[in-house]
Amino acid sequence: MSIDQFSMNVKENIRDKGKRDLLVPKGLLYKQPLVLVGRTDVATVTPWLAPIVWEGTFEPTLIDAIYKQQNLTIATTVFAVGKYVRFLKDFLETAEKHYFLGFRVHYYIFTDQPEAIPAVTLAPNRTLTPIKIPGSNRWQEITLRRMERLQEIIQSHLIFEADYIFSLDVDSKFHGPWGAESLGQLVGALHPGYFKANRQRFPYERRPQSQAYIPAGEGDYYYGGAVIGGYLEDVYRLAKTCKEQLDIDASKSIEAAWQEESHLNKYFLYNKPTKVLSPEYLWQNVHSKPEEVKIIRFTQVIKNNAAVRPNPIKSQIAKGY
């Protein structure tokens, strides 16, 4: 399928469903939005005027009511290769308690062991499709290959089946509500290790030979590779671009500091996300919870990399925190 054909299919898909207007059910009651009252301890908007989503910046009753009317399907892709299948049970069980409750969610589990997917009871309107892929003896290969798989599945299936997509790390658990406030055209999440850091400290790729190179003095935020979301068309373009950049790097035998996460950061620098999720949506319990983080919605579980990765390397076991 050509890109033009693909874009047309996406547009048809959207037009047919008549979605994306923010229609509110008549008579819905919610707290008055006040122009002079809001979060003052954190930035709630980027310099390019994309919302940064924090507790207290949105009204869940209102947002959910708006988006429920759109009859959406949220595709959610998760990779569980090798020993990472052990994370699926908690991931799915906690997602069923907190993630897009009341919405149609379609999980796509990419794994080398479909038989090891645990039988978790899903709420009505929620389904799970296993997709068998080969294993690998390098964890870096598994994480970076996600971009290629994402591109393929969006193009071949998801544009016909879903309205939004999230790609999430499997070594994660939900602890608090994650709903329609996270939806947008192109969505990234702030990495919990760097939201207070000076941009000089961000672990961007710093070698000019890599396509993921970000020069000193540039960069907005450090985004985590564990959460990518948006419209299918936009995430398709992101995945396709990152995959191409990863291939160019591979042809020069260079691998960016944090694989596809480095390429994602490069992409978001020049193709800004339209919505940015605060670290509430990507937490790690190794950090003590600061005052600004009122609620933790999604965390990376503390894992013993040596025990779960096919090729643990000491220097890569901890990222600058």
Ligand X SMILES: CC(=O)N[C@H]1[C@@H](OP(=O)(O)OP(=O)(O)OC[C@H]2O[C@@H](n3ccc(=O)[nH]c3=O)[C@H](O)[C@@H]2O)O[C@H](CO)[C@H](O)[C@@H]1O
Q: Annotated binding site for UDP-N-acetyl-alpha-D-galactosamine: which residue ranges?
A: 79-81, 84, 169-171
Identify whether 148 is a catalytic site residue.
no
Annotated binding site: 79-81, 84, 169-171, 191, 261
Q: Point out which span in 7-15, 115-123, 167-175, 196-204 binds ligand X (CB under 6 A).
A: 167-175
**In 3D, which of 218, 219, 241, 216 has the Cα closest to residue 228?**
241
The first and second tokens of residue 168, run together, are: 């999430």
Q: Give the residue, chosen from 64, 169, 234, 255, that forms a contact with Mn ion under the rule CB under 5 A.
A: 169
Residues in the chain: 321
Location of structure tokens 């996600």: 146
For residues 285 and 299, give the distance between their C-alpha atoms in angstroms, rounded to a whole number.
7
Using CB distances below 5 to 8 A depending on partner kind, what does residue 221 bind out of ligand X, Mn ion, none? Answer: none
Q: Is 309 in the site for ligand X (CB under 6 A)?
A: yes
**Catalytic choice (205, 255, 260, 261):** 261
Size of the site for Mn ion (CB under 5 A): 2
Q: Give the residue, chosen from 224, 229, 230, 273, that forms a contact with ligand X under the rule CB under 6 A.
A: 224
Closest approach of Cβ 303 to Mn ion, in Å?
8
Q: Is 114 in the site for ligand X (CB under 6 A)?
A: no
**In 3D, which of 234, 200, 223 has the Cα closest to residue 269?**
223
Q: Among residues 46 and 113, whose Cβ is nearest to ligand X?
A: 113
Q: Among residues 70 and 149, whose Cβ is nearest to ligand X?
A: 149
Closest approach of Cβ 112 to ligand X, in Å?
9
Amino acid at 129: T
The first and second tokens of residue 189, run together, are: 């999440």
Q: Give the residue, chosen from 55, 171, 233, 280, that forms a contact with ligand X under the rule CB under 6 A.
A: 171
Q: Is 261 in the site for Mn ion (CB under 5 A)?
A: no
**Helical segments of 170-284, H only:** 232-251, 259-270
Do residues 225 and 190 lie in contact, with contact meaning Cβ atoms separated by under 8 Å?
no
Q: Give the residue, chosen from 70, 76, 143, 278, that forms a contact with ligand X under the rule CB under 6 A.
A: 143
Per-residue buried b or exposed e for 279-310, using 16+ beta carbons within 10 Å of the residue's own CB: bbbbbbeeeeeeeebeebbbbbeeeeeeebbb
For residues 143 and 140, give the distance between their C-alpha atoms in angstroms, rounded to a whole number.
5
3-state secondary structure of 278: coil
Q: Point out which span in 29-37, 62-70, 170-178, 308-316 binds Mn ion (CB under 5 A).
A: 170-178
Q: Among residues 171 and 205, whose Cβ is nearest to Mn ion?
A: 171
**Helical segments of 129-219, H only:** 139-153, 159-161
Task: List residues with catalytic annotation.
Answer: 261
- Chain residues in the site for ligand X (CB under 6 A): 79-82, 84, 139, 142-143, 169-171, 191, 224-226, 258-261, 282, 300, 309-310
